[in-house]
Structure 1
Amino acid sequence: MCERAELLRALDELLQPERFKDYGPNGLQVEGQAQVGKLVSGVTASRALIEAAIAVGADAIFVHHGLFWRGQDGCVTGWMKQRLALLLAHDINLFAYHLPLDAHPTLGNNAQLALQLGLVAQSQFGEQALGCLGQRADGQSFASPQDLAAHIEQALGRAVTLVGEQHKTLRKIAWCSGGAQSYFEAAIEAGADAFITGELSEPQAHYARECGVAYLACGHHATERYGAPAVAAHVAAQLGLVHEFIDIDNPA
């Protein structure tokens, strides 16, 4: 067991949210009971995750995508009311960290995605230096974009959308988890042969075809499944908490 404030302090010290300009509040988003014994981690604070956390007796939930975002109207109705009602009725704390969780150099989404794919980062690029540029950990190249796509599909267990150059050896690989379409141009400027992210928007398909850099959209959820449990497990071990990762499947 630990105090809620102690858990918040440990997460803040690890993830350093003050370093980031973000799209919503990082840290404790919903206050629950003061004592925490079991911590559940997940990608998004969906109703399904909250219900699953209640079922396993969680005192706190740690996620990448929290409840509150810039631009919301502030009304507690519909899905927001349903999620908040569950958290408040069961006195569960909700902790959410967005960009700080993407960026942590060893436990974050980008670092953990690289671990899953056998990549090693050598530099960062893009806004707030969230994008990573590197190569295969074994020093080899991918024979083609199709070779890289097949490798990712096997590692992440889902189909990949590949656009762009089809017959090119890939040595410099760029990646940024989630919805990082806007980082593609910065990846091209950084010298990447291929860019890995979660989603594909209309303009990036044209950039990929015209610039000769392969674009691989691998799923927003699929590329961000690894940071939350890595951070939560680390902090749980530090504070003597029970931790459980609950993966709520999402096709996006």
Structure 2
Amino acid sequence: MANLHDIVQWCNQTLKANEFKDYAPNGLQIEGTSEIKKIVCAVTASEDAIDAAIAQQADVLLVHHGYFWKGEPYPITGMRGNRIKKLIQHNISLIAYHLPLDAHPVLGNNAAIADLIGLKNLEALDSSEKYPIGNIAYLEHALSPEQFKTKLQTIFDFNVVHLPSDKPQIKKVGFCTGGAQDFINKAAQENCDAYISGEVSERTFYEAKELGVHYFACGHHATERYGVQRLAQAIADQFAVETIYFELNNPI
């Protein structure tokens, strides 16, 4: 058994959460019981994830996508009100880390997919960022675009969208998980052969072609499954609590 605030403090320090300018608050978003035995982690604090936490009798729901995003209306009503009400009624805390969990060099989403793909020698996609939320790395052996797409589809179990350029081989890869398709411009500035993110926009088709960078959309959810699992395991190792990952395969 561990104390809620000890866990949150450790996570905040480990992820350097207070040093990020983010779109939502990082850390403890909804406070439940102070005594923690079990944590359910998920990519997003959806109603399904909450129901899984309730079914598992968890004390904490740990996610990448939490609540209280900038621009959201203030009233806690409707879908969001229903989610928050369930958490409070069952005394379950909600802990969320967004950009800090993308950026962490060991626990983060980008570090995790680099390991899965076999990308080496990580660098910052944007060297002006103190804690880069995008990276550049290198394949050990160059692949054709078709070979690289097949590799990504196998890793992420996702119907990868490939927007081609005219480069015949891929060695240097830029990447940022989630909805960071517009960082393809940064990848082009760094002479990357390819760029990976989760989502894709209509404009990305033309950017890939005209910037000369292969673009691979591997799924917002699919590319961000891993950071929250790594963080949950690190918490389990530090505090000896039980952790369970909830997967709801989002096709976006």
Q: Could you tell me which of 133, 150, 162 is aligned with 1:130? A: 133
1:56-115 Cα shifts (integer Å, max 9, x gaps): 110001100001100011111111111011100100010000000000001100001111
Residues 121, 132 of structure 1: 8 Å contact kept: no
**Number of the residue aligned with 2:247:** 247
**Number of the residue aligned with 1:217:** 217
Q: Distance in 2 between matches of 1:15 and 1:248?
A: 25
Worse-matched range after superposition: 114-123 or 104-113: 114-123
Q: Distance in 1 between matches of 2:74 and 2:120?
A: 41
Q: Distance in 2 between matches of 1:50 and 1:218?
A: 26
Deviation (angstroms), 1:121: 4.0
Q: 2:169 is paired with a residue of what secondary structure?
A: coil
1:12-41 Cα shifts (integer Å, max 9, x gaps): 111111121100100000000011110111
**Number of the residue aligned with 1:113:** 113
Q: Distance in 2 between matches of 1:99 and 1:242?
A: 25
**Number of the residue aligned with 2:55:** 55
Q: Distance in 2 between matches of 1:237 and 1:179?
A: 30
**Number of the residue aligned with 2:32:** 32
Q: Distance in 2 between matches of 1:192 and 1:166?
A: 13
Q: Distance in 1 between matches of 2:146 and 2:39?
A: 39
Q: Which runs of 4+ in 1 moved over 2 A?
A: 126-129
Change (3 A) 1:53 1:218: same
For the pair 1:226 / 2:248, whether they are aligned, the reply is no
**Number of the residue aligned with 2:79:** 79
Deviation (angstroms), 1:120: 2.1
Worse-matched range after superposition: 161-170 or 79-88: 161-170
Q: What 5-or-longer segments of structure 1 have no aligned partner?
A: none
Q: Distance in 2 between matches of 1:122 and 1:78?
A: 43
**1:1-252 counterparts in 2 under 5 A?**
1-126=1-126, 128=129, 129-136=132-139, 139-142=140-143, 144-165=144-165, 168-252=168-252
Q: Distance in 1 between matches of 2:29 and 2:82?
A: 15
Q: 1:141 is paired with a residue of what secondary structure?
A: strand
Work out the number of aligned pairs and report it.
249
Coordinate RMSD, CA, aligned:
1.1
Q: Distance in 2 between matches of 1:140 and 1:227?
A: 26
Q: Distance in 2 between matches of 1:157 and 1:20?
A: 31
Worse-matched range after superposition: 222-231 or 197-206: 197-206
1:172-194 Cα shifts (integer Å, max 9, x gaps): 01110000012110111011000
Q: Distance in 2 between matches of 1:70 and 1:167?
A: 39
Worse-matched range after superposition: 99-108 or 163-172: 163-172
Letter matched to residue 76 of structure 2: V
TM-score by length of 2: 0.96
Q: What 5-or-longer segments of structure 2 have no aligned partner?
A: none
Q: 2:138 is paired with a residue of what secondary structure?
A: strand
Letter matched to residue 135 of structure 1: Y
Letter matched to residue 90 of structure 1: H
Q: Distance in 1 between matches of 2:229 and 2:107?
A: 9
Residues 2, 35 of structure 2: 8 Å contact kept: yes
Q: 1:140 is paired with a residue of what secondary structure?
A: strand
Letter matched to residue 179 of structure 1: G
TM-score by length of 1: 0.96
Change (3 A) 1:166 1:150: farther
Residues 167, 214 of structure 2: 8 Å contact kept: no
Q: Distance in 2 between matches of 1:18 and 1:5?
A: 15
Deviation (angstroms), 1:130: 1.4
Deviation (angstroms), 1:125: 1.7
